Amino acid sequence: MFHVVLGLGLLAMSLHALQHAFHEHGGLGHLAFVAGLQALGAVLFLVPQTVRWGGVALLLVLIPGFVFNLIQGEWRLEVLIYVAGVWLVMNQGPAWGTGTARTPRMT
């Protein structure tokens, strides 16, 4: 459930930013590129065979975005939470489509 909510949430946010880039800024420029890369990453993140590629694309957008906001004096902690979630899913693997039932690890 976490994987799909995170992936769909990031996809929805990136599509909203992409729509904003096209309507407010003419579709060309940095915002459109970043939003497009994030949207592509979110789609790849939702496909079991490409979770890691999608995660890398998302991290390439989210981490510099967090750092940029931090430099500007904005504490966007939700972006850091997204980074942690993407990293978690990348390391745990996809939540579905693996061909075997996933069982929780006992620690």
Q: In angstroms, rounded to a whole number, what is the distance separating the alpha carbons of residues 96 and 34? A: 28
pLDDT of residue 27: 66
Query: Residue 57, class by beta-carbon neighbours within 10 Å (0-12 exposed, 13-18 middle, 19+ buried)?
Result: buried
Q: DSSP states of 24-65 as a string?
A: HHTT-SHHHHHHHHHHHHHHHHHSGGGHHHHHHHHHHHHHHH
Report pTM.
0.80
pLDDT, tens only, 60-71: 999 999 999 999
Q: Who's near 41: CB < 8 A, 6+ residues apart?
A: 10, 14, 54, 55, 56, 57, 58, 60, 61
pLDDT, tens only, 11-57: 999 999 888 888 876 767 888 888 899 999 999 999 999 999 999 99
pLDDT of residue 45: 93
pLDDT, tens only, 55-101: 999 999 999 999 999 999 999 899 999 999 999 999 888 877 765 44
pLDDT of residue 47: 92
Percent of the chain with pLDDT over 70: 89
Domain ranges of the chain: 2-92
